[in-house]
Amino acid sequence: METRTYAEIRQQIAELQKQADHLLAQEKAQALAQVRDLVQRYSLPPEAVFPAKTKRGRPSRKRPEQPQPG
């Protein structure tokens, strides 16, 4: 088994992180292209893709209207 130094392992981690960052950028670009294609194909408005958020950061839910007594 090969013995490596801490510095060598840190260098390997840095190289792997660089590769991971590159791959992530590629995957994001592909995902965005897919989303744009679907939005255009189905004429989706922004609200359909990105619902409004509440103060807590969750999509808002419409509450059912309560019948008025009377």
2: tokens are 């090969």
pLDDT digits (tens, 9 = 90+) for 38-47: 999 999 998 9
pLDDT, the chain, mean: 88
For 50-63, b where at least 16 C-beta lie within 10 A, e where not — what string? Answer: eeeeeeeeeeeeee
Dump pLDDT digits (tens) for 48-57.
988 887 677 6
Separation of alpha carbons 69 and 29, rounded Å? 54
Q: What is the pLDDT of residue 59?
A: 64
Cβ-in-10-Å burial (0-12, 13-18, 19+) of 70 comes to exposed
